[in-house]
């Protein structure tokens, strides 16, 4: 293994506003445009760097890996030649987990491109990098998380937002003010995209899944079974919403009836009405009386308005065995 030091360099927590003149800003802007095109050759997109958001400690580790690659001629030349991070070769030289290299390879490549190319001097000068003091523990930069305001140089912009590179090596998207140039140092509030609300979205998603699961469970759970004994027995299963979930009949005529009236997903009252109406029309009610047996939850007869009216209008008597309790309609 080589003398790789995972804590040799770190981004400074101290930031001084850049006092670069218009000429330097323009030259820095030109370098940023070239840098953006170069990292795209590695299939690295600025928007992906914005979305990754490594912590301060991880970003410092990425910085030291990038410095090592730039200083190691073999690794650096292979990176430039292949337009990709030589993970196996790097892993063979330094004690860094392969999973770490794979997870943060876009950030590592971006730093390698910036630090390794002398044509990006103005970008390099903007980054506040310091050598760690030997013997002191390197800790993450302490930030006020309540203030989501960032300062950096503009590397891309749209109508309402700009992407910046901060002096601490962060790629951030901020709300843009008018008339800013690529390479200019600006300060702004972090733009709130979907990523900023991913926790809220996840919670809402979980709640929706739970609610849908409960609804599906309630819909498919049978609360009562009703058997209508005409000349062909018709069995319907009803859920807690008083909707018919399943229907069946042991006779050919009963199957034909169910096929024609199509009562699944219809309300219990409407379904009983359709069964009795079909039975009367097709002479399936012997001696004008019908036995209906209910098992499970008892029927509330106040919910059978359409059925009761049909029975009264056609002078049909129905005896309900309502979970053990007898009840007559139109006796």
| Domain spans of the chain, in order of start | 9-192, 217-329
Q: Which residues of 123-146 are buried (b: 16+ CB within 10 A; e: fewer)?
A: beebbbbeebeeeeeeeeeeeeee
pLDDT of residue 140: 42
Residue 10 has φ and ψ, to the nearest 5°, of -155, 160
Q: Are 75 and 89 in contact (CB under 8 A)?
A: yes
For residues 152 and 32, give the distance between their C-alpha atoms in angstroms, rounded to a whole number.
13
Give me 66's structure tokens.
């990038």
The pLDDT tens digits for 26-61 are: 999 999 999 999 999 999 999 999 999 899 999 999
For residues 45 and 171, give the distance between their C-alpha atoms in angstroms, rounded to a whole number.
11
pLDDT of residue 159: 85
**Burial group, residue 17, by CB count within 10 angstroms (0-12, 13-18, 19+):** exposed
Q: Are 283 and 305 in contact (CB under 8 A)?
A: no
The pLDDT tens digits for 184-216 are: 999 999 887 655 566 677 888 888 998 888 888
For residues 292 and 328, give the distance between their C-alpha atoms in angstroms, rounded to a whole number.
10
Secondary structure element (H or E) that encloses residue 255, with its range:
helix 252-261
Give me 316's structure tokens.
């049909």
pLDDT tens for each residue of the chain, 331 residues long: 457 888 899 998 776 666 678 898 999 999 999 999 999 999 999 999 999 989 999 999 999 999 999 999 999 999 999 999 999 999 988 989 999 999 999 999 999 999 999 999 999 999 999 987 654 544 444 444 445 889 999 999 988 899 999 999 999 999 987 789 999 999 999 887 655 566 677 888 888 998 888 888 878 889 999 999 999 999 999 998 999 999 999 999 999 999 999 999 999 999 999 999 999 999 998 776 789 999 999 999 999 999 999 999 998 999 999 988 888 887 6
The pLDDT tens digits for 104-113 are: 999 999 999 9
pLDDT of residue 331: 65
User: What residues are paired with 327 via a beta bridge?
Assistant: 320
Task: Round to the nearest angstrom and report the end-to-end CA distance of the chain.
Answer: 98
For residues 13 and 75, give the distance between their C-alpha atoms in angstroms, rounded to a whole number.
30
Q: Are 280 and 308 in contact (CB under 8 A)?
A: no
Give me 281's structure tokens.
């029309």
Greatest Cα pair distance, the chain, in angstroms, is 104
For residues 155 and 30, give the distance between their C-alpha atoms in angstroms, rounded to a whole number.
10
Q: What's CA 85's distance to the chain center, in Å?
A: 29
In whole angstroms, how far apart are CA 85 and each of 95, 170, 181, 204? Answer: 16, 20, 31, 38
Q: What's CA 238's distance to the chain center, in Å?
A: 36
């Amino acid at each position: 293994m080589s003398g790789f030091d995972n804590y040799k360099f770190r981004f400074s927590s101290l930031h001084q506003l850049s006092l670069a003149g218009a000429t330097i800003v323009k030259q820095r802007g030109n370098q940023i445009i070239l840098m953006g095109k170069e990292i795209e050759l590695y299939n690295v997109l600025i928007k992906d760097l914005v979305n990754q958001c490594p912590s301060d400690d991880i970003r410092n580790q990425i910085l030291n890996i990038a410095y090592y690659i730039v200083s190691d001629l073999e690794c650096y030349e292979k990176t430039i030649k292949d337009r990709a991070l030589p993970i196996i070769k790097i892993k063979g030289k330094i004690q860094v987990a392969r999973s770490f290299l794979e997870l943060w390879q876009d950030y590592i490549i971006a730093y390698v491109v910036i630090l390794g190319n002398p044509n990006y001097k103005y970008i390099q000068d903007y980054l506040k990098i310091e050598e760690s003091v030997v013997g002191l523990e390197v800790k993450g930069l302490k930030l006020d998380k309540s203030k989501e305001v960032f300062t950096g140089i503009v590397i891309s912009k749209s109508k309402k937002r700009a992407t910046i590179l901060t002096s601490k090596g962060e790629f951030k998207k901020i709300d843009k003010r008018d008339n800013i140039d690529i390479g200019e140092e600006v300060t702004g509030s972090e733009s709130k995209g979907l990523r900023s609300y991913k926790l809220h979205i996840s919670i809402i998603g979980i709640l929706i899944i739970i609610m849908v699961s409960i609804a599906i469970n309630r819909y498919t759970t049978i609360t009562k079974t009703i058997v209508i004994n005409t000349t062909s027995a018709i069995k319907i299963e009803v859920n807690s919403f008083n909707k018919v979930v399943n229907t069946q009949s042991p006779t050919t005529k009963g199957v034909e009836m169910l096929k024609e009236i199509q009562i699944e997903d219809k309300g219990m009252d409407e379904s009983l009405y359709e069964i009795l109406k079909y039975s009367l029309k097709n002479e399936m009610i012997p001696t004008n009386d019908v036995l209906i047996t209910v098992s499970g939850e008892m029927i509330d007869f106040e919910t059978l308005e359409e059925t009761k009216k049909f029975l009264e209008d056609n002078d049909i008597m129905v005896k309900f065995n309502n979970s053990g309790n007898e009840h007559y309609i139109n006796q």
